Each structure stands twice: as C-alpha cells, then as structure tokens.
Structure 1
Amino acid sequence: MPATATRPPVAAAPPPPDATTLRVLKALEQRVLWLACWTIHNANHIRPNLDGLKVGGHQASSASMVSLMTALYFHVLRPEDRVAVKPHASPVFHAIQYLLGHQTRDRLENFRNFGGAQSYPSRTKDKDDVDFSTGSVGMGVAMTAFASLTQDYVHAHGWDRSATGNAPKGRMIALMGDAELDEGNIFEAMQEGHKHALRNTWWIVDYNRQSLDGVVSEGLSDRIRAVFRSLEWEVVELKYGALQQAAFAEPGGEALKQWIDGCPNALFSALTWQGGTAWRARLTADLAGNNAALDLIGRRSDAELHTLMTNLGGHCLKSLLEAFHGIDHDRPTCFIAYTIKGYGTPLQGHKDNHAGLMNEAQMAGFRTAMGVPSGLEWEPFAGSDVAATELQRFLSAVPFNSRGTRRFRGDRIPVPAALSYQNPERASTQEGFGRIMHDLAGSQEPLADRIITTSPDVTVSTNLGGWVNRRGLFGTVETTDVFREQKVPSTQKWAKSLTGQHLELGIAENNLFTALAAFGLSHSVFGQRIIPVGTVYDPFIARGLDALNYACYQDARFLLVATPSGITLAPEGGAHQSMNSPLIGMAQDGLASFEPAYVDELAEIMRWSFEYVQREGDEERENTWLRDEKGGSVYLRLTTRQLDQPQRTLTPEMVDGMIQGAYWLRAPGPNCEVVVIYQGCIAPEAIEAAGRIAQDRRDVAVLAVTSADRLCAAWHAARRARMRGDREARSHIDTLMAQVPRHAGLVTVIDAHPATLSWIGGVGGHAVHPLGVEHFGQSGTIAQLYAHHHIDVQSIVDAADCLTAGRPSRFRSW
C-alpha cells in the first residue's frame, strides 16, 4: 500500500448556535454593515477631496458579503485558518478587524487615502491581520489552494509548530465574487489541486449574480456545480434562508419556491430594488389561480414580503452557520451562497450599483434605519439593540482571535560560505545552475533540506533533474517510478514521497508563480521557512506576469530561475525567444534581477540569494541604496549557450561587484576612449570587440554587468539622497563611471532590449550607443541572429567607431 500523509482528525462540529448567539451575531452583522458603508461614505462625501478624483469603495459589493464574513470571523474560523477576502469586500474586512481590535479609527477614516486602510486587503500595506493580499481578481482564490499544498508540505516534513507534530491543519478559505470565476487562473489552480489531492480548502462564492457591467447570465450556478464536482469538490448550495424554508413548508409554499427557482436574475434584482409593493404585484400576477400561494403572500405586509423574498441563504446567519459547521471532513468544498448585491442598503439589487455610492439623502435614511446617532458614527456598537458589554464579551471569546498575532517569523536557515560546483572549461549558466543544485542536493547543509523546487513541466529541460534524482518528488500519496520497476533505462528518478522536495506542476505559469508565492510565505503564514526555487522558460515569464507581480506584492520570498533566454536560443524561433524580460526584472518591485555570464558569477549570486530571500528588515532604509536589509525575491536570467569559463580566483572586490551589479573585466585608463558594457551571454562578442577596438583606440575598458536592475535601483536611490541634501551619496555605478573620462563613449550590448543598459550613459553624462534586440526573433544560428539584430562583434566595433571618430558605418541609419 502506498504511504499517505497522516492527517489530524477533523474537529467535531460545535453545536448549532442558540438564540442568544444568533441575536448577538445579528447585532454584529449590522455593526459591520454600518461601519463598512460609513467608511466608504466618509471617504467620498465627508473627507476633503484635494485632487478631485473619485475615491470609490464598492458599498454594494461589500454589503453582499457582510453576513458571510460575520458568520466566519465571529463564529466559524479558528486561529489556524487563513482567508483570502474578496477584493471589493475590503471595507467589510476592515470593519471586522476594527471590532476585533486590530484596526484603528484613524486608518478607517483614511480608507483609500495615504496611510489609511487599503482599497483591497494587503499583507504589506495594511496594518490589520491580512492573510493573503487580494486585488487582482482570481489571484487570491488560487493562492488558497497552493497555501493548502504548502501546509501539507510542512506537515509531511514534520515541521508543524506543535511539538507533537499533530497541530491541526487550518482551512485555506477564499471569499470570491461570482464574476471572479471568469478568471482562467482559478481553473488552472483547481486542476493542479486535483493532481495533488488538495485538502482543507474552502471556496465561498458570493453569488449575487451581478458584475461590473450588468447581471450575469442564467444558469451559472449549474456550471459552477458541474465544474467543481468533476474535480471531486463537495458543493454546498446556500440558496434559501430560514424564513424562506419555513414559508416553503406552508400551504402554497412549493409554488413560491418554484417561482423563485425560475425567476430570471435580472428580474429578481429589479424587484429587490423596487421593494415590497413590486414583489406583491408581480407574485400576485404570476401566481394567479393558486389560492394557497396568494394567501401566503397576503398574510404578509409589504415589508415582511420584501424581507421574505430577499432572505437568501447567503444572508441568513442560521443557514450559514449550519452549513459551515456541518463540514466534518477535509475535502475541498465550494459553497455557492446566493446573495443580493447591496443587501440591506438603498442600493440593493440595482444593476448599476457596482460602483454606486449612497448620496447624502440615502445615507441619512440608512443611518436612521441602522439607529446610529449623529456624531457616533465611528463608535463600534452605536445603534445596536444588544448591550455593548455583551457584544464586547462575545468578541473577546471569538475563537479566531484567541491566539493574538497570526504573523510568524521562521528561523533563518544558515547559508554555506561558498556553494560547491564544477567549473569546466566550457559551460552554460543553465548547466552551472543544475550542477550547483545537484551538489547542494547531495550535501548535508541545512539549507538543502529547506529548499523546494518546482517547475511548470520543464523540470528536466531547465536542469533540475539532478536535484530531483537526489531529493525526490513531493506527494501526499507515495508512488514508485514504474519505469525503474520495469527496468526501463531512464536518467530520471520520478517517484513521489512525503519527504520529496520537488513539486511537479503542469504547464501553467500562473500556477508556478502562485506556488512560489505560497511556499515563499510559509515562514510568515505557518512559521516554517521554506526556500522555493522555481524554473521556467524565460520567454514565458509574461504568461504568468500577473501572478508574479502578486507574489512580489505579498513580499513572498523565492528564487526564480528563467532559462533559456533571448535570441541566443537561436533555432527555437521567435515564439521561444525573450527580449523584454530584463526590463520586467528591472521594473518589478520586490524582485532583484541578475543575468550572469559565467558559472563562477552565478555561484556567488546564488549563495547571496539564498541569504537575501531570508532577510526581514523592518525598515525600508536606503543606506545601502538597495534596501538590502529588507530582502526580497531573486530572478536569474540564464542561457543554454556554452561559454569558455574563466579559470580565475575571485577577489572580494569582484564578488562585491557581482552582487552590486557590475565589475571591471578591464578597467579604464586615463585616456580611455571606449567602454564596452555587456550583460549576460553576449560576453564573448563584447570581449572580442573590445580587443579589436583597442587596436586603434586607447585604454578600451570592459564592464561586466551582472544586474542592470540593482545598478539602476541603487543609482535612483543615491540620486534621491542627493536631492535630500546628502551631496556625498554615490551608488556603485556612480563610482564605476567616475573612473571613465568624460570624453569616452559607451557601447552597451545585451541579448535583450537595449534600454536595459542604455541608461548608464546618463550616470556620468557619457555618449552612449546601445545595442540590443527590439523585434521578434526567428530561427537561425547564433551568428546569423546576432548579425541580424546588430549585436555581433562587428556591430559593437562599428558602434564604437560612430561614437569616437565619426567613421562611416555600414549602417546608414546610424
């Protein structure tokens, strides 16, 4: 029998809430609704608007989530549970945190303002207890699936925070709008989750049947159910509230139920907006001839009828609690909660309410309905019919809030002083990466035990095969390598175990970056540090760019290795050649980007990276010009092109230059006329061209750039410092270019967009001729493509000629 991950027993469901509990929860639900709506109103109508821009805040989208989040945060959630909140429900989340004591009035008053509560929940920008950042719809949903896989990994490796190893697993919960299910990355994550036996995951759909532009199409819930059940999720439909269910049991109730089931979404929304009179007129007409149903309607006032018809499952605390507490297993579960957009507010049901805001008159009526006295709008319990002492006592006992802070700090993993690797006479940086990882896998270093690798179906072709052979695949169900069992020759060992350290992914880059985000937050979410290393084809970074940005925005920590890169992957053609990825690396916050040319550079950068991703500085200081105290993630752009490897002993100054972003291969002399500046595998062309230029130009220098990203970031930081009065502030590139005479010209060259390096001319005011790749590549040899894109040796020489002597060039456009 294959081994499977041991799972802690599922806690027994608590008894159904009694009438007192429901009364308190209903009071809290109303306070949350008021505070969320008032926070948005204050931001748009009371706080001074100095620039005239619309502030917004989504009152209607928030209101549809109030009951769901009240039930969860005040009764269902446990401390180990984690939640990704629907982006537009941010005001509800902040209101709940305010009641729990984790949010301040000042930040609520500055909602969507500088220093205030964020428009969408943010781990890095908000001060309250945000588990997962949301904002780009669909990203937070997928994140919960990979967070659950991360939790399984921590548990399988015996790293639970409990000394017994039997700490209960948390539920990874996503609160999503129904329109988020249009996002393809959600279904990519579901497919991947199914492959990895996903557990302990709840996705709760706010099925209000309205999106930004209108009302969703009919029958969406049927498709949702079908998709989830096909991937073995349990589906729980919360369509009817307790009032409706009671009414269905009355004479004529079955006809009313059938009418509700058959009512088009747009009509239901319109009648909700119009209220009890409209409900009565339409039901009376449609149910004519059914005296029992007409009597059922007639026994209720217009207000009571409106309450009955809008008593959907997603707004009924009793129904919600019964459903949530009724889950007694760890299988993934999807709750489809029928709701009304704008529920409980003057905006409810209107198709234009997505970005709508209550005006002054509507807010005045809403304030009266909520019983909030003027001047007490920010008081947590103002207007409640339950005593403040009782509400506070209840909040103090909320299980979710019982253990205080839920942000952890994982222990730092020691990084060896040097990484072992072979440095043959010829190698590519991709091969060098594989060798470094292979040797690390065979070591006894604590670092090796805390690394998990992953790749979107390109594990072997990105040189992770050696690591996997030594460390194995991770799986909650152990499997053997059938090919080896059948004695079929293969270089790869492809068996899964609970202790494996490679997560096999399908070919979906969104899943790769979401997995890196989840594993890269393990130190904070689960208190156990994991260092994820993900490999991907460099051209396809753009396929998962939203997820990469999402991972960095959350301050997840990981090492991204992208290879092969550029038109140097010559025979593959333009579809597999990247030219803009260095610019992505430079522009992406939270990601330090490198492109080493040689394996010894790569080894030093990787060693530094394993330490850098573990830094957790509290201040975003610029005393290093790179905010290195804070740390971040790292992106390595590697290549398959084999280069002659320098057999050299690196000095501390060279290593420091490699980490800061550049070092001199050949320093400039006092009469320097030309500096050739290169990054990456174009090194042989740059070095050869420099030699040819030196035949008739003096003191030709060669600058090896390992990170245009870090050079540029430090340059910007030093310039900001000088603007603030620190006239002595100098970045690394400032220091390097200060050695170059002003009359010298710079030729920059890279197998990528020339803007990656062209900015260096602005550092010291030097004339610069940037060479690079601006257009899609095609198939060919390296020599053919380099010549076609003007990054070959002759092009570098000609560029130097144009800069220094105005000699005629074979390129008239110059």
Structure 2
Amino acid sequence: MPDDRSAAATAAASPPTVDADRLAMLSALERKALWLSHWMIHNANHLRPKHDGLKVGGHQASCASMVTLMTALYFHLLRPEDRVAVKPHASPVFHAIQYLLGHQSVDKMKDFRSLGGAQSYPSRTKDTDDVDISTGSVGLGAAQTVFASIVQDYLDGKGWKRDWPDGRMIALVGDAELDEGNIYEALLEGWKNHLRNCWWIIDYNRQSLDAVVREGLYARFDGVFRAFGWEVVTVKYGHRLQEAFAQPGGDRLREWIDACPNQLYSALTFQGGAAWRKRLLDELGDQGPLQAFIESHSDDDLQALMTNLGGHDLPALLEAFETAPTDRPVVFICYTVKGYGTPLAGHKDNHGGIMTPEQMAAFRQAHRIRDGEEWAPFEGLETPAAELKTFLKDVPFNAKGRRRLSAPRVSVPERLTWRPAETMSTQAGFGTLMDELGRSKDDYATRILTTSPDVASNTGLTGWINRTGLFSRLPQEDTFKAEKVPSMQKWQLSPEGRHVELGIAEMNLFLMLSAAGLSHDLFGERLLPVGTLYDPFVMRGLDALNYACYQDARFILAGTPSGVTLAPEGGAHQSVGTPLIGMAQDGLAAFEPAWVDELEAILAWSLDYIQRDGSDPAPEHDWLRDEKGGSVYLRLSTRGIEQPSRTLDKPLRDQIVAGGYWLREPTPATSVVLAYQGAVAPNVLEAASRMTTTPGGVGILSVTSADRLDAGWRAAQRTRRREGEGRARPSHVERLMARVPRDALLVTIIDGHPATLSWLGGVRGHRVQALGVEHFGQSGSIADLHHAYGLDADAIVAAVAEGGRGEGFRQV
C-alpha cells in the first residue's frame, strides 16, 4: 500500500469544513458521476452496434479513481476563472459532470468514442462541452497548466484592464504521467518563473497500464516537488480510517498500512473484505482491542474501511483544497484505488479492463437504476431531484455557463517596416523585422510576446529583446549593465518585459506557445506569440507542437537556421525532414521564403492569420482554409543572399502567401522548369544562367510554401471527387503549372527532403528530377556541402541533362 513512512504532510483528522446537507448533495453527485461514466463506457463496448469487432475501450478503472476528486472540484471548489486539464483517462467522468451541469448531451455520451460523439480524451476542438485544456498525450496537459499560469502573470504585468479575474491553473494528473520527462522540464521552468496559482492533483492509485508502481515512489514525488518550490499536501487517509487510528490499537493498524507493499494492498483490495480480515488477523491478531475492532466489522464494512483513502473521502479532500495557498504552486498527492467502487478495484490488470455484462448488472442494481432510465440525471439517488437541480444551478463553477472567452482581433498593417540591405539572410531579415516591431507603439505590436529556449540571440531576437525587455513576475536588474560591462544584450527582467526566455527544452517552448496562443480564449486578452528555435530541434518538441496545434493555439514559429546550408555546425544542427513536418502538421501553415521581402509579406499576413476564427469554407480562389486561421511555421536560413531590387505589389504578395509565383515565367516553348524553395535560390539562378542554349528557355518557379500549394491542390481535388469534374475552380498551383508545356522537364530543388517538392510533377503529369537532402549532413562550407549533397548549380544542370534523355523531351 502507500509507501509514506512519515506522518508529515498527511491530512490530519479534523471536523469537515462543509455542512452535512451540502456534503450529502456532493455525495449524491459523486455516485451519479460514477454511474454515468461507467455506463457510457459499457454502452460503447457492449450495447452500441459495432461493425469492425474492435474493443472501444474507455478505462473504467482509471475513471473510478478520479470520481471523488472531480466531484469535490467541479461541484464545490472551482470558480469560473479556474482552468482545468483533466487526466486523459478520466474523460468519461468529465463528460458525465458536464452533462449534469448542462453542457453535454445524452446523444454525445451515447456516441462516446464514436464519430461525432464525446471524445475519448478531453478535446477543446472536438468536444462540445466545456474543455479548458486538451489532454491525451500524457504529461502535456499537466505541463500546460504551468505555462498557462505564467501567461496569466504576463497579462497581469502589462496593466491591461481585464474583466476576467485571475484563476487557478489546475491539472488532474495520473501518477503514471509523472514518468514523462516533459513534466520535470516544466517544473524547472515554473521555478525559474516564480510560478503561482498552479495546482497539480495527483491521482496516486499506484498503478500504471502494465503494473503496480515501484515501492518508495511517493517519497521521490514529495522530494522532487519540494525541490522545485511546490507546497506538497498529502491526502492519504479518509475520515473513517483516521477515526480507526484514534481507537485503542489504531496506531498498529496505521503502521501496518504504511508498511504494506503496494502490490499486496492492491491484491487485498481486489479480493475483498474476507481477504483483508484473514491478513489483518494473521499479522495483527492477539492485539486485544485492535482484534476486537477488526472482528466488529462485516466483510463489506472492512473492505470499505481499508479502502477509505483520502482521494475517495470528500471531507478530507475539501479540507485540503480549501486551506491550500495560491501564492505558490501546490501539489496534492491524493491516495486512491484504481477501480474504486467497482468489481475491478485493485487488480493489476484493470487499466484497460471493462466490466462484463454480468458485473454491470450487479453494478446497476447497487446503483438502483431501472431499465430504460440509465441516462436519467438523477435516477437511483435518494436526494430529491428538485433539490439537486437547485444545487447544480448554484454551483460556483457553473455561474457563467460555458467559459470560452474571446478577444477582438487587433488590426495589422498590410506591410511591415524593415531596413533592407543588398545582401541578407532570412534569419537576419526576421531579426530586422522584429527589431522594427519592437520600436512600434501600435496596439498589434504591443501584443507580440516572444519566447525562445535559450537561443534568442542566435535566432534573430536580440534587437527585439533590447527594445522590449524580458518578462519576469519579479523584477531583476541587468548586472552587466549596472556594472558598466559592455554587452550587446540588455538582460533586464520586469513585469513589463515582452520576451519569455526559457531553458533549453523545446517541449517547454511549444507548451509556452500553446498557452500564450490560447490567451484570448482562456483569459480574454489577445496575444500574438512568436517563438524561435534551431530548426532541427522542432523534432525535439514535436509532440508538444502537435498538441498545441490540436488545441487550436495560435502562434508564429521561426525555425532557424536550417538545412545543410548551416554548413560548419554539422549534421547535429542541420535539418532535413522539417519541411515535411511543416506540410504534414495540421493547423500549421509552413513557409520557407528565399528573400526577405517575401518574409515581410508572409509575416504581415501571419500576424493577422493567427487571429482568425471564422468558418472553414475553403474559398475557391486558392482552396485554402484561411478564414479559419491557424498557426504559422517559418523555416529560415543563415545564408546571406543578394536581395532583389523590386517592390512587391498586392497581386505578387498574395501569390507569395498562397505558396508560390513565377520568378521567370514559362512560355509555350519552355522545356525546363526549375522549382525551388528557400536558400538554394542563388544556385537555381546560376544554373539557369548557364542553360542559355536550352530550347524555349528555362522557367523558374519560386515556391514560398510547398505546404500551402499542396493543401490547396488537395482541397480542389476533393471537391472535384465529391461534385464532379468542372465543378471547382483550379487551385493556385494548378494555375501556375497550367502554363508549363506538358513535355517540359520539372527539376525541384530544396535544402531539405526532396519529397517536399517532387509531388509538383503530379499536378499535370510532368516528369520530375527531385534534388534535395536525404541523409545527415556534416561540417563544411556552403559551397562544399551544396556540392556534396547535390544542391549546387552543377547538380541542377546535371539533373536537367539526365532528365533530358527521356522520350519526348527537347534536348538541352
């Protein structure tokens, strides 16, 4: 059983803080949440028609261990401003509670884990009930609350008048979730940022998917959280056990429980009262009053007593919650039984277990549920329905209904100010653009929050930081400045600062962007988050990036430097697959401009795009979901290239944002088209200049976003399949490629995986030679590496010659 060998931090016995009538109401709702969550899962697995024969699942045991905790929170403690990340496997309990509060429908619950129904794990974007923070990839929802709390403090530091008060950011965490490494990265970041108003409530049932957890784990959790400055509150025993300990001989019973191994405690829980009696009498018999106390209980009473842990005792939980501080983070280690109140309780295999129809029949009888009334909100309860309805109407958490906030969009200019140079990299151009934004006093510019995992100075943000300062809830002076030591960086921290500097943990970067990118929804204030990192390390935080997009968080991400073009830093810092990630990631529009004027057009558009929240009509002019909005990924380079002398008019800016334009237009006689993306542009121009004898000349297609071109093309194709040929206008890439003769050769070039652009040949059936990088890079100069990996002008000319041998091709 529990492996806490000390009395410290254990909730002491004291009178309940809630009056008896309210406690009776909460107990009734606790019982109903248990029934509804388990019936929802039973219906999905045993009653609803299944056509594929697969188990639907639903984690009844993981739900049962959370019911009391969630009852205490949602029906008593929480206020509308509090935000909660619910343990993924407790999703059915959450849906049941939302149903009782009037935010979930019976039909959605009947369709749990079915298309259009309540989701398997709480989802902001897929569920219709009041989900604050999506969960599912374990550990991320808990960590998100840390960054949500930091964002709340960030807003407080700006002095903006907010109608929505500060709330607690609360995570309901399974103890096995604490195996996730990102948890501890987030704890460290919270410590650095003087975290407060954050609660983690751990469902300490001592079981994971495959097994019972190791002995001594409680002490490790306690030590870790204290080391990071958290208040640790252990809710170990319920009031029945606390009263038993106060009886003559009760200290021996407590010592026995404290020393009982987790596996034995779980096994005895599953076996029931008779097993408890035999074990206790064998090991504690002849103890006089204690033996008499044990024998005075029936088997059922003894089972109830020995499983009366703090996480299943409403008075113990309410005491702990109501007396906890809010000026620092608090973790509640709540002892529970996995499967509590069900036949699955305690068995080590119960994680994916589901009650059999026979077990559910007995469960139904115990809950006094009549046939046909399984979904009735107050069926089987002794408390009158009218009283429960009145109670639910007055629940503090529900006082304002669904708590999705909004903030007005801030106006963004069509063009951004920047200082051009003859030769420039897109990374340097990004820095220049951000520096100019730091000068601006316009509302949209003041809403920009930047963040980076300890690489701000290497990713173009130095100028921005020097102008806007770093954020910290507690001010801290720049010691180098105070000591008059010259430095390029002004490292002053204050509540007014607008850059949140993180440690080297990309998971934290994406969780910070996720929290800031939901500020309008969670806190009613618009932020325009911009994050930077080394491009290859997008993959180190990919789970959290996917999670942020799944939540529909809105932000701009700059991955820089990128590709083998990074040159001397070698393969560990050179990215190959990130362009494909940009294409594949839902909710993320990916760009890779070659020129800084393209970047300016994209960034200006992006600052507006991340604010959009309209419908999803996929307008026919490009078939993109631009009315819906989303996040943006900019893949940038450190390669300085000569900048074009031109002024972008609106049609060209629109094409850049749509994904591409003709840098050199093809003619009906064109035999070769070079299509490139990003920093290889000079190589392409050099190759084209060397192909002066090419029949019909060479067309050059500048791709600024393979992602956007591909997305528009596929959307148009889907419409044609659905509505028939001729019913849809061509997409942007189809209009571009329509100008290329059918027998022309298409050569694609990118400093990234060649599949990023090779699909262009499929738009109208052109033959393709796809150049790119498929293997890890190495150190070297740009010229040497581009030659070694087949990206230079020689390789492009050779690809044209190779492709020119095909049938029907006009020889170069």
Q: TM-score over 0.5 for the alignment?
A: yes
* Aligned equivalent of 1:278, options 275, 279, 287: 275
* 1:364 matched to 2:361: yes
Map 1:317-396 onto structure 2 (within 5 A).
Answer: 317-396=314-393
Amino acid corresponding to residue 772 of structure 1 in structure 2: G
- For residue 738 of structure 1, what is the aligned residue in structure 2? 738
* Aligned equivalent of 1:527, options 516, 524, 527: 524
String of CA shifts for 1:468-513, please: whole Å, max 9, x gaps: 0000011111111110111101111100111110001111000000
* 1:461 matched to 2:462: no
Q: Distance in 2 between matches of 1:218 and 1:668?
A: 71
Q: Distance in 1 between matches of 2:68 and 2:259?
A: 25
* 1:713 matched to 2:711: yes
Question: How far did 1:621 drift?
Answer: 4.1
- For residue 56 of structure 2, what is the aligned residue in structure 1? 55
* Aligned equivalent of 2:495, options 498, 519, 524: 498
Amino acid corresponding to residue 770 of structure 2 in structure 1: P
- For residue 425 of structure 1, what is the aligned residue in structure 2? 422
Amino acid corresponding to residue 642 of structure 2 in structure 1: D
Amino acid corresponding to residue 667 of structure 1 in structure 2: E
String of CA shifts for 1:366-410, please: whole Å, max 9, x gaps: 000111111100001100111111111110100000012210111
* Aligned equivalent of 2:681, options 676, 680, 683: 683
- For residue 505 of structure 2, what is the aligned residue in structure 1? 508
Q: Distance in 1 between matches of 2:693 and 2:73?
A: 75
What is the number of equivalent residue pairs in this alignment? 790
Q: Distance in 1 between matches of 2:654 and 2:394?
A: 53
Please say which of residues 797-806 and 780-789 is displaced more in the overlay.
797-806
* 1:580 matched to 2:577: yes
Q: Distance in 2 between matches of 1:327 and 1:160?
A: 28
String of CA shifts for 1:606-639, please: whole Å, max 9, x gaps: 0000000000013454544111100000000000
String of CA shifts for 1:437-458, please: whole Å, max 9, x gaps: 1011112221110001010000
String of CA shifts for 1:34-58, please: whole Å, max 9, x gaps: 0000000000000000111211000
Question: How far did 1:806 drift?
Answer: 5.3
Q: Distance in 2 between matches of 1:697 and 1:533?
A: 46
Question: How far did 1:329 drift?
Answer: 3.6
Q: Distance in 2 between matches of 1:774 and 1:473?
A: 39
Amino acid corresponding to residue 214 of structure 1 in structure 2: A
- For residue 804 of structure 1, what is the aligned residue in structure 2? 804
Map 1:215-614 onto structure 2 (within 5 A).
Answer: 215-614=212-611
Q: Distance in 2 between matches of 1:444 and 1:350?
A: 62
Normalised to the residue count of structure 2, the TM-score between the two structures is 0.96
- For residue 642 of structure 1, what is the aligned residue in structure 2? 640
Please say which of residues 614-623 and 385-394 is displaced more in the overlay.
614-623
SS in 2 for 1:724: helix
Question: How far did 1:15 drift?
Answer: 8.9
Q: Distance in 2 between matches of 1:239 and 1:151?
A: 31
Amino acid corresponding to residue 775 of structure 2 in structure 1: H
String of CA shifts for 1:101-131, please: whole Å, max 9, x gaps: 0000000000000000000000000000000
- For residue 10 of structure 2, what is the aligned residue in structure 1? none
Amino acid corresponding to residue 614 of structure 2 in structure 1: G
Q: Distance in 1 between matches of 2:173 and 2:393?
A: 28
Distance 1:620 1:118, change over 3 A: farther
SS in 1 for 2:723: coil
Q: Distance in 1 between matches of 2:492 and 2:339?
A: 51
SS in 2 for 1:635: strand
* Aligned equivalent of 2:664, options 666, 670, 675: 666
* 1:764 matched to 2:764: yes
Question: How far did 1:724 drift?
Answer: 1.5
SS in 2 for 1:461: coil
Question: How far did 1:293 drift?
Answer: 1.5
Question: How far did 1:159 drift?
Answer: 2.5
- For residue 701 of structure 1, what is the aligned residue in structure 2? 699
Amino acid corresponding to residue 656 of structure 1 in structure 2: D
- For residue 724 of structure 1, what is the aligned residue in structure 2? 722
- Kindly report structure 1 stretches of 4+ aligned residues shifted beyond 3 Å: 618-624
Is the 1:693–1:800 contact (alpha carbons within 8 Å) kept by the matching residues of 2? no
Amino acid corresponding to residue 364 of structure 1 in structure 2: A
- For residue 780 of structure 1, what is the aligned residue in structure 2? 780
SS in 2 for 1:285: helix
Q: Distance in 2 between matches of 1:687 and 1:181?
A: 53
String of CA shifts for 1:768-807, please: whole Å, max 9, x gaps: 0100000000011111111111111111111111222359
**Structure 2 unmatched ranges of 5 or more:** 1-14, 808-812
**Structure 1 unmatched ranges of 5 or more:** 1-13, 808-814
Amino acid corresponding to residue 473 of structure 1 in structure 2: L
Is the 2:506–2:540 contact (alpha carbons within 8 Å) kept by the matching residues of 1? yes
Question: How far did 1:289 drift?
Answer: 3.0
- For residue 10 of structure 1, what is the aligned residue in structure 2? none
Is the 1:456–1:508 contact (alpha carbons within 8 Å) kept by the matching residues of 2? yes
- For residue 79 of structure 1, what is the aligned residue in structure 2? 80
SS in 2 for 1:569: helix
SS in 1 for 2:258: helix
Is the 1:273–1:348 contact (alpha carbons within 8 Å) kept by the matching residues of 2? yes
Is the 1:97–1:103 contact (alpha carbons within 8 Å) kept by the matching residues of 2? yes
SS in 2 for 1:748: strand
Q: Distance in 2 between matches of 1:15 and 1:362?
A: 34
Is the 2:16–2:316 contact (alpha carbons within 8 Å) kept by the matching residues of 1? no
Amino acid corresponding to residue 739 of structure 2 in structure 1: Q
SS in 1 for 2:548: helix
Q: Distance in 2 between matches of 1:442 and 1:87?
A: 44
- For residue 134 of structure 2, what is the aligned residue in structure 1? 133
Question: How far did 1:547 drift?
Answer: 0.4
Amino acid corresponding to residue 119 of structure 2 in structure 1: Q
- For residue 626 of structure 1, what is the aligned residue in structure 2? 624
Distance 1:620 1:47, change over 3 A: farther
Is the 2:133–2:141 contact (alpha carbons within 8 Å) kept by the matching residues of 1? yes
SS in 1 for 2:565: coil
Is the 2:207–2:338 contact (alpha carbons within 8 Å) kept by the matching residues of 1? yes
Question: How far did 1:735 drift?
Answer: 0.3
